Amino acid sequence: MLTSSEHWSSHEKLAELQRRRSYLQGIIDSYEDVNSDVVYLNDSLSILDEEDGQIMIQEIEDKLGSTEKKIEVLQLRHILSNKLDSCNAIMEIHPGAGGTESQDWAQMLMRMYLRWAERNGYKADIVDMLAGEEAGVKSVTITYEGPYAYGYLKSEVGVHRLVRISPFDTNKKRHTSFTAVLIYPEVEKDVEIEIKEDDLRIDTFRASGAGGQHVNKVSSAVRITHFPSGIVISCQNERSQHKNKERAMKILKSRLYERQLLEQDKTKEGIIGDKKDIQWGSQIRSYVLHPYKLVKDHRTGYETSNAESVLNGNIDTFIREFLFLKKKDGGTLSIQTS
């Protein structure tokens, strides 16, 4: 535990406190903004009662719409009151059986979540990705940095099902593919997780992603194997071995912290979900592209025919519906994937 004077002398802790202050100030500013809108609407409605203010009706309707959205954001922030909700997030995407079909679907989901991050101002980094032989990805790990990244993305835990005419099938038959999405909260720096050096094996290898000549000549990528848990973490997006190792250790620490929470309280089993049974009947959401277009969440019942918009990262309504449903159910998070 740092003393008050040590807080201000530690650059990392100072930056952390400044981020926290910025976040809290954001809540205050958002509340005051909504309050200002409500005062404006009340005044405008009074004018309508007193005078011929029909010309203001469209302006009032527009203001009502924007104010409702602002209130919804504040409500979501209230729902995300768990300590872990405010953390950054770590996402893993794993295709199910089906080879190229499922691997291509995994890449489509990766693109969807990267677009979502871009839409919402989150910093997203692909820290490790194993490409498929023909197309798609065999696995991918993405980190999300920003306020309440984990709180929002935990709604995506589970198996996602795609139905479409396969671009890889010369007979143009309809195929069904499954991919699992796992989400971990990135733990804070002050969380104590004991990791013994003797329990680790650290391997280095050449990065396989973008990066020009550097990735072909320098073994900058890092793979860490934690023997007691069997967890294997790879990181290859940084340009130095040191930074890749640092990020891989941070992800390992988050995974071990999550395991610690599960051991302490079995009711937290829904923190990351379960990768098993990536198949029919286990999906949380279906994306149908043929013979009609429909994206439906099987937990909330919410659906939309605008599948293209969803695959371009417009998943906020799905996230909101899930979070509001969990609030009605008592705020528990229990993802069933089998």
- Same domain as 125, residue 248: no
36-50, 65-79, 240-254, 268-282 — which one is most confidently predicted on average? 240-254
Beta carbons of 230 and 255 less than 8 angstroms apart? no
114-128, 231-245, 267-281 — which one is most confidently predicted on average? 114-128
- For residue 267, the model assigns a pLDDT of 47
- For residue 269, the model assigns a pLDDT of 47
**How many domains does the chain fold into?**
3
Residue 336 falls inside a structural domain: no
- Same domain as 70, residue 11: yes
- Same domain as 167, residue 99: yes
- Same domain as 244, residue 215: yes
The two counts, helices (H) then strands (E), for the chain are 9, 11
Domain end among 228, 245, 264 = 264
Residue of 202 and 3 predicted with greater confidence: 202
Rounded average pLDDT over 43-68: 77
**Cβ of 187: how many Cβ atoms within 10 Å?**
23
Residue of 265 and 199 predicted with greater confidence: 199
Per residue in 131-187, pLDDT (tens digit) is: 988 899 999 999 999 988 999 999 999 999 999 998 888 788 899 999 999 999 998
pLDDT at 210 over 80: no
Residue of 42 and 308 predicted with greater confidence: 308
- Same domain as 140, residue 16: no
DSSP state letters, 183-231 = EEEPPPTT------GGGEEEEEE---SS-TTHHHH---EEEEEETTTTE
Of 59-68, 139-148, 290-299, 311-320, the least confident: 59-68
- Same domain as 283, residue 178: yes
- For residue 129, the model assigns a pLDDT of 93
- Same domain as 113, residue 65: no
Where residue 232 sits, what CATH number does that domain have? 3.30.160.20
- Same domain as 184, residue 275: yes
Per residue in 246-286, pLDDT (tens digit) is: 888 888 888 888 887 777 655 444 555 544 455 555 799 99
Domain end among 32, 49, 79 = 79
Percent of the chain with pLDDT over 90: 37
- For residue 127, the model assigns a pLDDT of 93
Residue 335 falls inside a structural domain: no
- Same domain as 283, residue 245: no
- For residue 133, the model assigns a pLDDT of 86
Where residue 160 sits, what CATH number does that domain have? 3.30.70.1660
- Same domain as 55, residue 13: yes
Query: Mean pLDDT in the chain?
Result: 82
- For residue 88, the model assigns a pLDDT of 93
Residue 274 falls inside a structural domain: yes
Burial letters for 242-277: b for 16+ Cβ neighbours within 10 Å, e otherwise?
eebbebbbbbbbbbbbbeebeeeeeebebbbbbeee
Q: If we measure between CA atoms, which residue out of 242, 229, 154, 157 comes closest to residue 193?
A: 229
- For residue 57, the model assigns a pLDDT of 80
Of 98-107, 277-286, 299-308, the least confident: 277-286
Domain end among 229, 264, 299 = 264
- For residue 144, the model assigns a pLDDT of 97
Q: Round to whole Å and give the CA distance between 27 and 35.
A: 12
Domain containing 136: what range?
Answer: 85-188+270-328
Residue 96 falls inside a structural domain: yes
- For residue 56, the model assigns a pLDDT of 76
